[in-house]
Chains A and B, each alone.
Chain A
Amino acid sequence: GAGVSQSPSNKVTEKGKDVELRCDPISGHTALYWYRQRLGQGLEFLIYFQGNSAPDKSGLPSDRFSAERTGESVSTLTIQRTQQEDSAVYLCASSLSGITYEQYFGPGTRLTVT
């Protein structure tokens, strides 16, 4: 079956612009996670969705970052007024449920802020 997909694969934007990153999880997966991978760093957790609610937003770095999820489907991560330090690969993962430990990762969106 289809895996987790993300779009766009690459995004270059100017400092101060807003960007939207999209994640399509595996069908039937109720849990969805966003992570950020900055150059030379491990992955940082951003936000967790169970269905369309987000019980854990503790990793969002500032109020410029927000995310939403439609039902148990698509999620969008929005970054407002982008800064150069937002440049990173943004990865999305999904799993059957929040207590199912195997997460399936998408290929990521590489964001470059100039």
Chain B
Amino acid sequence: AQSVTQLGSHVSVSEGALVLLRCNYSSSVPPYLFWYVQYPNQGLQLLLKYTSAATLVKGINGFEAEFKKSETSFHLTKPSAHMSDAAEYFCAVSRTGANSKLTFGKGITLSVRP
């Protein structure tokens, strides 16, 4: 079985500050890992994905994440927050092979203060 833990439900940062959203996973097989972003009243958009290539993954909008197998983590970071980053962020895991159904964490709401 696979699971994802996103501790806390809300993170608030100042504009220009570092963004760090934590994600830990549990998987009995090598996982593929994803971060999705959901803006208000919109569908999910893929930010970045780890599929067993480089452990440091760069995504859209300046976000990146590092896969750390020893820590079973896949934390999302951005050096400098922008007001437009305010949204809900979901970490997800899938198996390799057929049927790439996603198992999601509960999500974290990011607020950016001016």
Chain A interface residues toward B at CB < 8 A: 4, 31, 33, 35, 40-45, 48, 50, 55-56, 59, 91, 93, 95, 98-108
Q: List 25 A-B contacts (CB under 8 A).
A: A33-B101, A35-B102, A35-B104, A40-B9, A42-B4, A42-B6, A42-B90, A42-B106, A42-B107, A43-B90, A43-B104, A45-B101, A45-B103, A50-B99, A56-B101, A91-B44, A93-B44, A99-B97, A99-B98, A101-B34, A101-B51, A101-B100, A102-B49, A103-B102, A105-B45
Known pairs A43-B102, A99-B97 / 5 extra A-B pairs, C-beta < 8 Å: A45-B102, A45-B103, A99-B96, A101-B34, A107-B43
Chain B interface residues toward A at CB < 8 A: 4, 6, 9, 32, 34, 36, 42-46, 49, 51, 90, 92, 94, 96-107
Count contacts between A and B, CB distance < 8 Å.
66
Top 6 nearest A-B pairs (CB, nearest first) are A42-B104, A105-B44, A42-B106, A105-B43, A43-B104, A107-B43
